[in-house]
Structure 1
């Protein structure tokens, strides 16, 4: 896979559930905010969760032409540390893509694949452990096209039409 596509896929469409719309002014311009309880995001999350077992089966036995298996997890600052949010709807959660995913006993580990914009107690490249219940979304590449990453759709559908079209045409994202 070309480096540009790999980097783009892993860095695309970070989301944060903002406690208030004003929180966006303090964060990186790359973050996209979705209000807590957004109905379109709830539908996307249900779709992601509905496909999670199939994703994990494919992850465990990857077919030819697939690569870059990644998951999205929610993280919040907790004092001088951090906490994983699982699927709970909480204020100030930031969602991170985790790459280099591996099974570890009854859970998983991987590498945070994007820089934080709001959360301050984690960093890109940091190894992190998580459970199946912490997985918010998932994706992988099959024949140079995205499979999964459905939680990006509510974000893209609210953004510039040309951005949505790029993800559809170049990366095969289905929204």
Structure 2
């Protein structure tokens, strides 16, 4: 459990969290960047709808016991002053049809949770999910929106720095 949490934290440098109601990114010394997205961003809003609508795909993969599937994470929205913050929850387990996991990123804007807290995911507030299938990202809808908005040079740097491979 600890191994996967550390792995996720180390590779998701740019996916730390997202805050609605802002623009650009917040850089933090020694911490992952936080990408701020306007809450009226149509592509990001559609990505969150797509993620929420496909959560059963995530659930089926989680319970499949497929050895090629690993590093299951869900991004959940938390209330914060001035907007909402979307934070990754790692080490996901399914317990009595509820997703439970550990806050995998240091929150910037919300005080509702802290890094390392164990929570039950609020399904109504799911904004993304992802896992690896043989080393390739499945899901990651909001990540793809951010990545697709990068210049070719930034995209190459992003890919080189975090090692994410998209299906």
- Give TM-score, length-normalised by structure 2: 0.78
Q: After TM superposition, which residue ranges in structure 1, 4 or more long, deviate above 4 angstroms? A: 1-5, 166-169
CA offset digits 1:4-40 (Å, max 9, x no partner): 864334444221102x559x67x74711111112111
Corresponding position of 1:84: none
Gaps of 5+ in 2: none
RMSD over equivalenced CA pairs, Å: 3.0
Aligned partner (choices 110, 113, 119) of residue 104 of structure 2 = 113
Contact 1:17 1:36 in 2 (8 A): yes
Contact 2:14 2:34 in 1 (8 A): no
The 1-side partners of 2:117 and 2:147 are apart by 27
Corresponding position of 2:44: 41
The 1-side partners of 2:73 and 2:63 are apart by 13
User: How many pairs were matched up?
Assistant: 159
Give 1:54 shift: 1.2
SS in 2 for 1:159: coil
Gaps of 5+ in 1: 79-90
CA offset digits 1:121-141 (Å, max 9, x no partner): 421101111233332111011
The 1-side partners of 2:12 and 2:65 are apart by 19
Corresponding position of 1:162: 153
The 2-side partners of 1:54 and 1:131 are apart by 17
The 2-side partners of 1:99 and 1:4 are apart by 10
The 2-side partners of 1:47 and 1:62 are apart by 24
Contact 1:167 1:173 in 2 (8 A): no
Aligned partner (choices 7, 10, 17) of residue 8 of structure 1 = 10
Contact 2:18 2:35 in 1 (8 A): yes
Contact 2:9 2:104 in 1 (8 A): no
Matches within 5 A, 1:22-33: 28=28, 30-33=33-36
SS in 2 for 1:40: helix
CA separation of 1:51/1:156 partners in 2, compared to 1, >3 Å: closer, same or farther? same
SS in 2 for 1:120: coil
- Give TM-score, length-normalised by structure 1: 0.75
Give 1:62 shift: 3.0
Corresponding position of 1:66: 69
